[in-house]
Structure formats: C-alpha cells, structure tokens
Amino acid sequence: MQDKELIPQLFKTEYRKIISVLCKLFGIEQIEIAEDIANDTFLLASETWGLKGIPENPKAWLYTVAKNKTKDYFRRKKRFTENIAPELKNKQSCTQEIELDLSEANIKDSELQMLFAVCNPINSNESQIALALKILCGFGIDEIANALLSTKENINKRLYRAKHNLRVHNVDLSFPSNSNLKKRLDNVLSILYLLFNEGYYSSTSKHTISKDICFEAMRLLYILTENNKTNIPKVNALMALFCFHTSRFEARFDQVGLQVIYKEQNKNKWNLELIAKGETYLNISAKGQEVSKYHLEAGIAFWHTRLNVVEKKKWNNILQLYNRLLQIEYSPITALNRTYALAMAQHKEIALKEALKIDLKQNHLYHVLLAELYCGIDKQNQIAHLDLAIHLTKNENDRKFLIHKKDKVSN
C-alpha cells in the first residue's frame, strides 16, 4: 500500500486514539494542544514516509512520534515555567517526566471517557455530532461539512464553540459516577442514534447513505459494549438496530444508484452475517426488565429481515411494535411509518385515513407515503403527492428516484 493511501487510513483509525490519550493526560481543556500534537504527528509521517518510505511498523512509528512530541511539549512548558514564569513553578506538573501511555488498555479507557466528554449535553446535538465526527471519527472539516450539508466556516465555528463550552464548564474526562451514569449514557446513545441516522438516511446530504458515518457510529457503540458498566440491555438493543439496518445496505440501491424500496430489494444482497449479529445483540438486550425505544425499533428492523415468514404475520408484528413505540415516544415520523405497516397488515383505505391525520405536509416523506397509499386507488392523487415530494426533497438521489417513480406511474 502506498503512503498516500496508508496515511489517510491510519488517520481514521489512530488519530482518535492519540487524541483521546492526550486529552486524558492533559485534560479536556487542552484539546487544541492534543489536536496539534496529533496533527503534527501525521504531518511528519506524510513528509518522512514520502522521502524514506513506509516504516516496518507504521502504527508503532506514529505512537513513538506522538510520545516524543508530547515530551517536547512538556519540556518547552517546563522551560517557560522555570525561566519566564517562575511563580507558576509549584502549580505545574510539567516539571515531571511525562510518558504517553498508548497501551491498548489505556487507549480503550481513554476512548470511552472521551466519548462521554464529547457527548456532553452542555453542547447542542448538532455540535456534539460535529465534535464526534472530528475527534472520535477522524473526519476532516470538508467531510463533516459535506455530511451535514454545511460550510467549512460554519463547521469550524460549531467546533470552536463546542470545545470552548467543554473548557469553560471544566468538563471532567473521568468516567461518570454511578449516580450520573444513566443520564449521561442515555445522552451518548441518543447522539450515536442521531449520528447513525445522519449516515443511514440524511434528508439534506448529497448522498442518501454514508456508510462511513454509520460504521463509525457502530464502532463507538461497540466501545460501550466492551465495558461492564455500560454494556446494558438498551446498548445492545441499539447495536442490534444498527446491525439490522446495515445488513441491507447493498440492496438499497440499484446499479445506477437509484434507491430501491424495501419490497423490491434483492434479498440475496442482504448481509446474513450482520443479521445474525443483530439477532445475537437483540437476544442479549432481552435480559433486562426495561423496554426502550431501541428495543422496539430493533424489533421492527428484525422483522424486516425475515425471509421465510408469512407477510401478514410479519406486518402484524411490525404494526404492534409501532403501536408500543408510539406509546413510549410519540413522533409524527413514527406515526407515518406505522401507517405503512397498517396498510400492509390490513388495507390501504384504513391506513390512508390515519395518514391524512398526521401533520407533516412540509415533509417529502409524508407525500411519498401518501403516493404509495393512493397507488391503485387514485392515480391523480398519487401523481400529485409525488410532485409535492419532488418539490420538497433536498436530497438529490431521492429526487431522481421520485422523478423515475412518477414517470413510471404517468406512463
């Protein structure tokens, strides 16, 4: 592998580890210094490997450089303390020799602690997601801006404010206390859920699906499953949901990139290994007493992956799960999705009456569903709602799909 290919790959996997360990050492208030050291490490790798070739153990090379740059930073800080600001000497720990611990165990602990710090509710959900993509996932500013359909300037401002909030609130990088763990964990799960959804289906991005974002959300969630205190049923339920959704990635688009609706997907393209993993996580999640929204959504996704089940039975089960989900946490989108299950389990006329009661007239998905429900009942209304959906969607792939669908209906 060439260094031009290897360095970006290592940046994705190792940058977050170096940042997390450095922040554990420095404190979250010094996150910019941690970023500078990590960035300088990869810059040196790019320059050196281009001239001298790739070292025998690239990861070990990066870790050694990061350790040396950390020592250099503390030496400079020590000289400043002793020569320029001696009154600070007794207040600084920089006089001690620093060793950056990049052992596997410390990396795991640091990443877990960093996950809780980045997903701190003192910042908005949007800022937490941007910070997670930058710090925990190793995404560049351009990538984040493209994923969130924003500008580099806005993303930089968002990241600056988020890191500023972490500093001024003196956010502790240590693992949450037992009394605070549930609330903090719920917020982390909520952010990972939003992060995955941003990748799985973004209504604004140029691409309908971003596998990298989805897999990063899964990787971060996996960190929680590896810790005894955070490996609880709802965490496993969310992982089951992610596995079931990602199992159908390859079937969601045809050869020219057009979206393929669920009932027309090529089931041979479903990833059976991921479905099996989803079942394993779903079984683990059933050991607790709590039934969270993640349990119910995972159950719905589970039934969507069933191949040899009578359709009526499958959709009845999905409908019942949607009914319970709406009782736990109502949302118009969930209610909209339920109406499709209602149409499949019973008949379209009943579902259409329910759908028309939902106030989502400015959402293109609302009109997509109404067009589907009007199919075979009222062709004129079907086309009218497809037109509204085409007008309202901000996703280019969705627009192409809907135009193609309208053409088929009109002809």
pLDDT digits (tens, 9 = 90+) for 8-46: 889 989 999 999 999 999 888 889 999 999 999 999 999
| pLDDT tens string 197-214 | 988 876 445 554 488 899
Q: Tell me how far CA of residue 200 lies from CA of 196, 210, 297, in angstroms.
A: 6, 6, 15
> At residue 86, does pLDDT exceed 70?
no
Confidence of residue 263 (pLDDT cuts 50, 70, 90): confident
Are the C-beta atoms of 244 and 305 separated by less than 8 Å?
yes
Token readout for 297 is: 């959504």
Q: Residue 385: which residues within 8 A CB-CB, separation 6 or more?
A: 367, 368, 370, 371, 374
Amino acid 95: pLDDT: 43
> At residue 285, does pLDDT exceed 80?
yes
Cβ atoms < 10 Å from Cβ of 149: 13
Q: Please report, as a single letter, which amino acid is at residue 225.
A: T
Token readout for 160 is: 């600056």
Mean pLDDT of 289-298: 95
Mean pLDDT of 74-94: 56
Amino acid 70: pLDDT: 94
Token readout for 13 is: 């996997």
Backbone angles phi, psi at 231, to 5 degrees: -85, 70
Amino acid 87: pLDDT: 45
- Per 3-state DSSP, what percentage of the chain is helix, strand, and coil (rounded to 5)? 75, 0, 25
Are the C-beta atoms of 94 and 81 separated by less than 8 Å?
yes
Confidence of residue 75 (pLDDT cuts 50, 70, 90): confident
Residue reference for tokens 């995955």: 196
Residue reference for tokens 């193609």: 404
> At residue 306, does pLDDT exceed 50?
yes
Count how many Cα atoms sit within 13 Å of the Cα of residue 76 in the half-sphere of its side chain.
Answer: 7
Mean pLDDT of 281-287: 96
Return the higher-pLDDT residue of 223 and 99. 223
> At residue 347, does pLDDT exceed 70?
yes
> At residue 358, does pLDDT exceed 50?
yes
**What is the average pLDDT score of the chain?**
89
Our measurement of the distance from residue 188's CA atom to the centroid of its chain's CA atoms, rounded to an integer in Å, reads 11
Q: Tell me how far CA of residue 389 lies from CA of 214, 252, 280, 394, 400, in angstroms.
A: 26, 19, 38, 10, 11
Are the C-beta atoms of 371 and 386 separated by less than 8 Å?
yes
Token readout for 343 is: 């149409």
Confidence of residue 364 (pLDDT cuts 50, 70, 90): very high
Amino acid 396: pLDDT: 80
Q: How far apart are CA 103 and CA 107, in angstroms?
A: 6
Confidence of residue 69 (pLDDT cuts 50, 70, 90): very high
Lowest mean pLDDT among 141-145, 237-241, 267-271, 362-366: 141-145
| pLDDT tens string 391-404 | 999 878 788 889 98
> b/e string for 73-103 if b means 16 or more Cβ within 10 A?
bbeebbeebeeeeeeeeeeeebeeebebebe
pTM: 0.88
Our measurement of the distance from residue 142's CA atom to the centroid of its chain's CA atoms, rounded to an integer in Å, reads 17
Amino acid 152: pLDDT: 93
Amino acid 82: pLDDT: 57
Amino acid 94: pLDDT: 45
Q: Residue 126: which residues within 8 A CB-CB, separation 6 or more?
A: 148, 158
Mean pLDDT of 78-91: 51
Share of the chain above pLDDT 70, in %: 92
Confidence of residue 150 (pLDDT cuts 50, 70, 90): confident
> At residue 84, does pLDDT exceed 70?
no
> At residue 81, does pLDDT exceed 60?
no
Q: Please report, as a single letter, which amino acid is at residue 227.
A: N
